Amino acid sequence: MIRERRARRLPVLVCMIAALMLSIVPLPDGASPYRPDWVALTLIYWSIALPRGYSVGTAWVLGILLDIAHGTLLGQHALALALVTYLTVKFHLQLRVFPLSQMTATVFALLALYQFILFWINGVAGIYPEVVTYWGPVVTGTLLWPVVSLVLGGIRYRAPG
């Protein structure tokens, strides 16, 4: 059992790094406000699938890396990701039996919470962005959730090891 858990570590790690990379790939100007929160989506998936292997600690470390990569305040993404992951792990048993439509709605709520925390911390720090574009990632992330969960599910069940 322990060996099984350790063997699963590699694909998950690869997914996380891939998500991190996707979130720093340069996009054209018009598209970058709509870049989905890849890291948040990946974390939500894995913390439902393997709640004991990957939870708030992983989320926090990834958040710090995101903060460094984006040049935001240190701890901003970390706090938001840790909260989202905490809620997901807390309710992972309920979330597992949700049908896709209900799950997508939950993901929408989680992503909205994530963006709200980033928005709120920015506000406290005195950065006031345009509000409309702030919710772009929530919409694209929610729309992409079925695809993400399908792809990560494929990786989870078919990855070697």
Partner 1 sequence: MAAARAESSHRSFRTPALGLRFLLLAGISIFLLVADHREDHLDTVRKTIGAAVYPLRIIVDAPVSVWRWLDETTTGRNELLLELSRLNAERLITQSRLQRFSALEAENARLRAMLEATSRVRDRVQVAEIMSVSSNPFRHVLVVDKGTRDGVFEGQAMIDADGIVGQVIAAGLLSSQGVLISDPDHALPVQVNRSGLRTIAVGTGEYDRLDLPFLPNNADIEEGDLLVTSGLGGRFPPGYPVGVVDSVMRIPQGPFADVSAKPAASLGQVREVMLIWPGEEEIAPEPEAERLEPIIEAAAAE
List of residues contacting partner 1 (CB under 8 A) = 1, 17, 20-21, 23-27, 29, 32-33, 35, 52, 55-57, 60, 63-65, 68-76, 78-79, 82-83, 86, 89-90, 121-122, 125-130, 133-134
Tell me how far, at minimum, the Cβ of 101 lies from partner 1, in Å. 28
Toward partner 1, which CB reaches closer, 7 or 68? 68
Toward partner 1, which CB reaches closer, 28 or 99? 28
Tell me how far, at minimum, the Cβ of 122 lies from partner 1, in Å. 7
CA angle 33, 35, 40 (to 5 degrees): 125
Tell me how far, at minimum, the Cβ of 84 lies from partner 1, in Å. 11
> Whole-angstrom Cα distance, residue 103 to residue 97?
9
Tell me how far, at minimum, the Cβ of 103 lies from partner 1, in Å. 21
Report H helices in the chain: 2-7, 9-22, 38-49, 56-70, 76-90, 92-96, 100-125, 131-134, 136-158
Question: Which amino acid does the sequence have at 115?
Answer: Q
CA angle 23, 55, 80 (to 5 degrees): 50
